[in-house]
A and B are shown apart, each in its own frame.
Chain A
Amino acid sequence: MTTVGTTHMSQSDDTTTDTQVDGTGDAQVDDTTASGTGMDGTEELIEFSNLSKSFDNGEETFTVFEDLDFEIAEGSFTSIMGPSGCGKSTLLNVISGLIPPDSGEIRRDGSTIDPGEFFYSYVFQEPRLLDWLTIGENIRFALRAQEVPPEDQAGRIYRYLELVGLEDKIDSYPQQLSGGMRQRVGIARALAVDPEILFMDEPFSSLDEFTAKELRQDLIEIWEETGKTIIFVTHNSSEAVFLSDSILILDDTGELFDHVEVDVPRPRGIGDEALIETESRMMEEFFAHLDETGEADSDETEPDDT
């Protein structure tokens, strides 16, 4: 098992590699263990070990992922990246407790916890707003669900709408807003309940690139302002390196095969050479891994002609 930086991960086999990229953009493949430090210098970790999940449709069992081990630093921005269908959203749902794992353990501050014990909120791929409620009432729905005292609700609604730049839309209905604005409301709703962890499942994938770019920048500002732990699912490598402190990479079989720590200082620009270099090396690692596993698979299936 090898670990580096704020986020640690491993697989039960030895295929895991860790890549660290420094501020100059020089990526280094590292197989040594280093001490984990969060963005603010703390070492509070959430440890996930032996997480497995499979689905049974009655005829066959489909394993999404098996025996995943990794750690996430509290207060960090961590992305889970991988191709479509690799199980990254399922992993997010398991981590958040929306789906129970088949096996595995989560430890926080050294104690085993249940996923349901996380005080989290969720930003979905689509905003999932209630069309018949105003923007303010949509956020109030989440606050009421979380039993936020009624006297605090109006203040929170305004504060978080202000944070996403939509305080003047408080009485508008969702269909009066653009797609980007609706997703901002989804973010404001998630933040308004003041979660410890914010889970984001490809929140910008359905937006046009111009809007997505703007929202990524806004998200980073919001994260820096609020200090939340963010676990972000994406299949977009540029998005992952731009946003994240750490990136966990799943391959198409659900194997967690790489961990990249993006040590590029913030504020970051989309065209930063260091980010481009990181992304490039990360993708090289990814495709090299696919080649290796592809060859291994074909070796296993090759008929013995001796």
Chain B
Amino acid sequence: MKRASRIAVSILVFVVAWWLLSVYNTRMFPSPVLVGSLIIEFVFEGDIDNSSALYHLWVTFSRVLLSTGLALGIALGIGVAMKANDSVAKVFEAWLPVWMTPPDVVVILVVMVIVGFNTQAVVIAVTFAYTPFALVTIWQGLQEIDSDLIEMADAFEASRFEIWRQIYIPHLLSYIFSSLRNLFGMTWKVAVIAEVFGISNGVGSRVRFWFLQGEIPEVLAYAVLFIGVVLVIEYAVLNPIQHRAFAWRRA
């Protein structure tokens, strides 16, 4: 069975299961048809405050992308510094477990108290919470570099720049991709939670609004829309990039 068919079949099975649940308990499980119609309404006609769901999606995703990029960039920078300097490596190796420990909710609340209830707070909180997870993956990649390749490059007197460009970075790409996917899968959840706590725009703010009204179908409409976009990014953007970047593995 081709990949597209497999995806279509699994979506169909999910929708049918959802529909059966809605037949069993309409109040707890609004039907997929109702949720689907709400999605269309929010996207094309706007929410109750006339704001389009696409606007809120864009706001949330811009926060997610910015946080993910920052977390990955900072992790790469620290990883390179750790590789270049043993003292830096020792400091971060000692502090990484501590850095990974605080619960996301605590980080979000503390940052919001310090920075305020705004986009910067969401980005800072999410970046702070997930940089150590990216760093663990990047650092593992840097440690697993094949030292024979570095010795080969040294024997040919390759410059540090060439060694990074042709050996470290290509070797790290698989770790960067792995980290990117993990981050992307985690940061949007935290970003939405942060928005729920008190930001006036973004998907989280609409989820909070409709939750306070006690309207589950509207909450689900935003959730499904958001999950749909995440899946589209995963399959339509990240997968093809990864496919292209690692073409040599399938050669």
Q: Report whether A124 and B152 are in contact in the complex, using a CB–CB cutoff of 8 Å.
A: yes
- Pick the contact of A142: B149, B151, B156 (CB < 8 A): B156
- Over the window 93-110 of chain A, the binary record of Cβ atoms lying under 8 Å from chain B Cβ atoms (1 yes, 0 no) is 000101000000000000
Q: Please classify the interface of chain A as helix (H, G, I), strand (E, B), loop, or mixed, using the class held by over half of its residues.
A: loop
Q: Report whether B162 and A141 are in contact in the complex, using a CB–CB cutoff of 8 Å.
A: yes
- Over the window 121-143 of chain A, the binary record of Cβ atoms lying under 8 Å from chain B Cβ atoms (1 yes, 0 no) is 11010101011110000000110
Q: Report whether A126 and B157 are in contact in the complex, using a CB–CB cutoff of 8 Å.
A: no
CA distance A220 to B108 in the complex (A): 69
Judge whether B101 is part of the interface by a CB distance below 8 angstroms.
no
Q: List, in ascending order, chain B residues with CB within 8 A of A142's CB.
A: 156, 158
Q: Report whether B156 and A130 are in contact in the complex, using a CB–CB cutoff of 8 Å.
A: no
In the complex, how many angstroms separate the beta carbon of B170 from the nearest chain A beta carbon? 4
Judge whether B154 is part of the interface by a CB distance below 8 angstroms.
yes
In the complex, how many angstroms separate the beta carbon of B241 from the nearest chain A beta carbon? 15
Given A121-B156, A132-B248, do A144 and B149 touch, yes or no (CB 8 Å)?
Answer: no
Q: Report whether B170 and A132 are in contact in the complex, using a CB–CB cutoff of 8 Å.
A: yes
Q: List, in ascending order, chain A residues with CB within 8 A of B248's CB.
A: 131-133, 173, 175
CA distance A225 to B154 in the complex (A): 27
CA distance A126 to B149 in the complex (A): 10
Given A133-B166, A175-B251, A176-B251, do A128 and B148 touch, yes or no (CB 8 Å)?
Answer: yes
In chain A, positions 159-202 with a C-beta closer than 8 Å to chain B are 172-173, 175-176, 193
**Count the A-B residue pairs with Cβ separation under 8 angstroms: how many?**
54
Q: Report whether B154 and A124 are in contact in the complex, using a CB–CB cutoff of 8 Å.
A: no
Judge whether A146 is part of the interface by a CB distance below 8 angstroms.
yes
Q: List, in ascending order, chain A residues with CB within 8 A of B251's CB.
A: 172-173, 175-176
CA distance A137 to B192 in the complex (A): 45
- Pick the contact of A141: B148, B151, B154, B166 (CB < 8 A): B166
CA distance A142 to B249 in the complex (A): 22
- Over the window 47-78 of chain B, the binary record of Cβ atoms lying under 8 Å from chain A Cβ atoms (1 yes, 0 no) is 00000000000000000000000000000000
In the complex, how many angstroms separate the beta carbon of A214 from the nearest chain B beta carbon? 24
Q: Report whether B162 and A145 are in contact in the complex, using a CB–CB cutoff of 8 Å.
A: yes
Q: Report whether B170 and A145 are in contact in the complex, using a CB–CB cutoff of 8 Å.
A: no
In the complex, how many angstroms separate the beta carbon of A149 from the nearest chain B beta carbon? 16
Q: List, in ascending order, chain A residues with CB within 8 A of B143's CB.
A: none
Q: Report whether B154 and A98 are in contact in the complex, using a CB–CB cutoff of 8 Å.
A: yes
Q: List, in ascending order, chain A residues with CB within 8 A of B213's CB.
A: none
In chain B, positions 134-179 with a C-beta closer than 8 Å to chain A are 148-149, 151-159, 162, 166-167, 170
- Pick the contact of A122: B152, B162, B166, B170 (CB < 8 A): B152
Q: Report whether A126 and B162 are in contact in the complex, using a CB–CB cutoff of 8 Å.
A: no
In the complex, how many angstroms separate the beta carbon of B128 from the nearest chain A beta carbon? 33
Q: Report whether A146 and B157 are in contact in the complex, using a CB–CB cutoff of 8 Å.
A: yes
CA distance A193 to B249 in the complex (A): 28
Q: List, in ascending order, chain B residues with CB within 8 A of A146's CB.
A: 156-157
Most buried by B among A98, A124, A128, A132: A132
Q: Report whether A128 and B149 are in contact in the complex, using a CB–CB cutoff of 8 Å.
A: yes
- Pick the contact of B167: A122, A130, A172 (CB < 8 A): A130
Residues of A within 8 A of B (CB): 96, 98, 121-122, 124, 126, 128, 130-133, 141-142, 144-146, 172-173, 175-176, 193
What are 16 A-B residue pairs whose CB atoms fall within 8 Å in the complex? A98-B155, A124-B148, A128-B148, A128-B149, A130-B167, A131-B249, A132-B170, A141-B153, A141-B156, A141-B158, A145-B157, A145-B158, A146-B157, A173-B248, A175-B249, A193-B156
Q: Which 5 A-B pairs have the closest CB atoms?
A: A145-B158, A128-B152, A173-B251, A122-B155, A145-B156
Residues of B within 8 A of A (CB): 148-149, 151-159, 162, 166-167, 170, 248-249, 251
